[in-house]
Structure 1
Amino acid sequence: EAPTAEANSEDEETRPKEEAQPTEETAAPTEIPCPKREKERIMTMRRCLLATAFLIIGTAAYFLLQRLPMPSWKAPKQLPQESVVPAPRDTTPIATDTVQAVPAPTNLGRIVMRKGDMLTRIARETYGDRIFWVYIYEENKEKIADPDNVPLGTELVLPLPEKYAINAADTASLRRALALQFEIGSAKKRK
């Protein structure tokens, strides 16, 4: 039997259609990059970045200059000179037998330990550096069993800076205090 026209139409519908091959006429043309346009685009980007950088630097400089004090270009006003007349000298004799010698102080004072007090904080406030706690400890050894745990209510004597040559600006003074701290720490470990 010969196939009918209907069978041929069904076969055509069920068969996958062959995809059309693109021809030169139907194919999309590919763009070839133009080196001149690419260079122009890069140069434009560089100019924009450079302008942005100058804008940022200029703004930062403006705000920094606003914070600086402006110098006065005017000549300073001269105040009228006053003549200084020395005060008349007191010529009354002073009785030397009535003058009593006041003993030089042996300490800066006393401090009572309160909650939150530490020798290092007291030394920093009193002498300018916390390492000088060792001299407060040396001055009060008989009252302090453990320099890391001074009981509340303990009255401590603060030594004069001259007694131990305490000077926060002097590296030799700082080194002496560090050496004494090492000795105190070693003695504490031996106990």
Structure 2
Amino acid sequence: MSKLPKLELEPTALMKMRKLRFLKFYHSCGRILLSKGLLSFPEERRYLYWEEYPLRSLPTKFDLRYLVELDMRASHLEQLWEGKQDLVNLKVINLNMSTNLVRIPDLSSATNLEEINLSRCFNLRELPSSLQRLEKLTYLNFDDCKSLCSFPEILETIERLSFLDLSGTALKELPSSIDNLIGLDYLRLNNCKNKS
């Protein structure tokens, strides 16, 4: 389907595919048309990859309970969702190059989250404090998030986080609690605007 020149989807088109677990759209910008929006995704999907997703947010009826990987690189998303979601199975979030993204929501229920890639999300301004409670995180990439000017305190020891890229951000300083990232192998701070 990614070779079709144009595909218009009705708001309920994907909801009817109840057993669909794997959904992947390549280079969809201008080719996947959602003129009436999108009501939801299939309930049981585990993997959602939608490159250049055209809407500003995910559908309001989007049940994330079974989702394991969310990859929406180069999307038009400004935010993912409002409020709190059940994210117990979520392991990977990749919103790389989603330049309109302003914030990410509360991730406190994503207790199995391992990787977050938000590199080149130029308008990302803040990170949720819930990051400090995600004990299974191994990879955090905020490279070139030019509007990001603070990093949350790390309240407890996080042993698994080994990769943290904050280069190209507007961070003024790192919290002193950064010492709690005792498993860190790679910390990158190149070209921070206000590095101290």
**Range into which the TM-score falls when normalised by the shorter chain:** under 0.3
TM-score using structure 1 length: 0.20
Q: Which has the higher contact order (CA 8 A, sep 6+)?
A: 1
Determine which structure has the larger strand proportion and give its number. 2
Greater helix proportion: 1
TM-score (norm 2): 0.20
Q: Could you say which structure has the larger radius of gyration?
A: 1
